[in-house]
């Protein structure tokens, strides 16, 4: 099994585990919401440690996928060396050159004309597609989970607003009873007639009972409001987490898609150039691209860096049917690379220092 396949299998396992963890947290939030709807007192079973566990796992998972993507960049960079070898004469062609330089050149040109780089390109695209599908599946799960939590969160926000309104009304009613109770207590204190006093004491008992009932209702509403508030806090934290995870998936998907478009443009241009009549001039330009690519690969995240892209743009501009598309692809790749570098700075640093697995 190749290193790519092994790393891909590891990423697939990590994605499956991440989806399980994500679904579990959303399920806990859903369960708590259902219990609250039924009036069952419940704790929101989503601790910060649980959220941090998910964050840590997804960080490792995304770092692994980022390394896979950069590995494809390395493969692309290596093709420049393949083109150099394609340009150079084989041992047989050199041997023939001792007897006939023209025959040697003709053999080389025929080999270059019939060279097929489509298989390599298709292999790259196939690997990119596998990673893209993995990321798109993860993004779909994140979107689904986020939608579920947001629906519950909206209902809970409305319910808490209503509960707070009820709580304020109870507080106002309780405050309104204080003067009445004080008034009856004062009357009892000065009342001399036994029958009248008994009537006032009965009235006071009824007021105190009503007051205590209101206080009890206030405590119930307060507890409900606090529970709803905790749920809202947990829900918001989880929605923020899912949103951030989704953004990371989008950055990775965008990077892969723009890289694939650029590779198609690059390979198409090189394939056509290799098969032109002016082989020596083309070979010289391919060599320039190879050198620039090797330099950029040491300092930039993308295999085909800014200098190489400019060279490619210059070459592609000679073909009117490619000019506009090439510029759009190069601009899109630059933006995708910038977003990728911002979000995966540590992975880029490891990649540039050949510190994979460190």
Q: In the chain, count of helices (H) and strands (E)? A: 10, 0
| Residue 47, pLDDT score | 60
- For residue 26, being part of any structural domain is answered with yes
| Residue 287, pLDDT score | 52
**What is the C-alpha separation between 157 and 193, in angstroms, rounded?**
55
Highest mean pLDDT among 23-37, 166-180, 341-355: 166-180
Residue 286: pLDDT over 70: no
- For residue 313, being part of any structural domain is answered with yes
Which residues have a Cβ under 8 Å from the Cβ of 355 and sit 6 or more positions away?
349
Residue 62: pLDDT over 80: yes
Instruction: Provide, rounded to the nearest whole percent, the portion of the chain with pLDDT above 90.
Output: 8
Residues 239 and 142 sit within 8 Å (Cβ to Cβ): no
Tell me which residue range forms the domain holding 46. 3-157+236-352
**What is the C-alpha separation between 92 and 106, in angstroms, rounded?**
12
- For residue 255, being part of any structural domain is answered with yes
* pTM for the predicted model, two decimal places: 0.66
Q: How confident is the model at residue 159 (pLDDT cuts 50, 70, 90)?
A: confident
- For residue 207, being part of any structural domain is answered with no
Give the residue with greater pLDDT, 26 vs 106.
Answer: 26
- b/e per residue 29-62 (b: at least 16 CB within 10 A): beebbeebeeeeeeebebeeeebeebeebbeebb
Give the residue with greater pLDDT, 10 vs 79.
Answer: 10
pLDDT tens digits, one per residue of 291-322: 444 444 444 434 434 444 444 445 445 444 55
pLDDT tens digits, one per residue of 212-243: 999 999 998 898 888 888 888 888 888 888 88
Domain count, the chain: 1
Give the residue with greater pLDDT, 349 vs 296.
Answer: 349
Rounded alpha-carbon distances, angstroms, from residue 36 to 43, 130, 349: 10, 42, 48
| Residue 162, pLDDT score | 92
Instruction: Provide, rounded to the nearest whole percent, the portion of the chain with pLDDT above 70.
Output: 70
**What is the C-alpha separation between 131 and 109, in angstroms, rounded?**
37
- For residue 12, being part of any structural domain is answered with yes
- Classify the C-alpha dihedral 152-153-155-159 as positive or negative: positive
Residue 55: pLDDT over 80: no
- How deeply is 16 buried, as exposed, middle or buried, from its count of CB atoms within 10 A (0-12, 13-18, 19+)? middle
Give helix 3-37 / helix 48-87 axis angle, nearest 10°. 150
Segment 7-15 shows an average pLDDT of: 85
- For residue 180, being part of any structural domain is answered with no
- For residue 347, being part of any structural domain is answered with yes
Which residues have a Cβ under 8 Å from the Cβ of 168 and sit 6 or more positions away?
none
């Amino acid at each position: 099994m190749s290193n790519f396949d092994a790393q891909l299998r590891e990423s697939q396992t990590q994605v499956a585990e991440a989806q399980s963890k994500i679904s579990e947290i959303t399920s806990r939030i859903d369960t708590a919401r259902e219990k609250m709807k039924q009036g069952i007192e419940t704790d929101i079973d989503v601790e910060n440690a649980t959220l941090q566990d998910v964050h840590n796992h997804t960080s490792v998972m995304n770092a692994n996928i980022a390394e896979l993507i950069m590995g494809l960049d390395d493969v692309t960079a290596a093709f420049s060396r393949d083109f150099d070898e394609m340009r150079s004469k084989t041992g047989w062609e050199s041997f023939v050159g001792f007897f006939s330089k023209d025959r040697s050149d003709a053999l080389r040109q025929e080999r270059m004309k019939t060279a097929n780089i489509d298989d390599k390109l298709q292999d790259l695209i196939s690997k990119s597609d596998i990673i893209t599908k993995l990321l798109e599946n993860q993004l779909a799960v994140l979107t689904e989970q986020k939608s579920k939590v947001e629906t519950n969160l909206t209902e809970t926000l409305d319910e808490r607003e209503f509960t707070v309104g009820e709580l304020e009304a109870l507080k106002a009613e309780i405050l309104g009873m204080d003067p009445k109770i004080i008034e009856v207590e004062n009357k009892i204190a000065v009342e001399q007639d036994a029958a009248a006093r008994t009537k006032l004491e009965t009235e006071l008992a009824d007021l105190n009972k009503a007051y205590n009932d209101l206080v009890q209702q206030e405590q119930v509403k307060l507890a409900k409001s606090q529970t709803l508030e905790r749920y809202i806090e947990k829900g918001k934290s989880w929605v923020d987490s899912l949103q951030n995870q989704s953004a990371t998936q989008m950055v990775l998907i965008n990077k892969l898609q723009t890289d694939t478009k650029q590779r198609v443009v690059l390979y198409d241009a090189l394939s056509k150039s290799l098969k032109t009549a002016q082989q020596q001039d083309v070979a010289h330009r391919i060599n320039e691209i190879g050198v620039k690519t090797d330099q950029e690969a040491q300092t930039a995240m993308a295999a085909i860096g800014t200098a190489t892209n400019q060279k490619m743009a210059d070459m592609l501009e000679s073909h009117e049917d490619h000019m506009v598309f090439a510029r759009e692809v190069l601009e899109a790749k630059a933006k995708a690379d910038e977003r990728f570098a911002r979000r995966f700075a540590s992975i880029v640093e490891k990649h540039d220092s050949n510190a994979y697995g460190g």
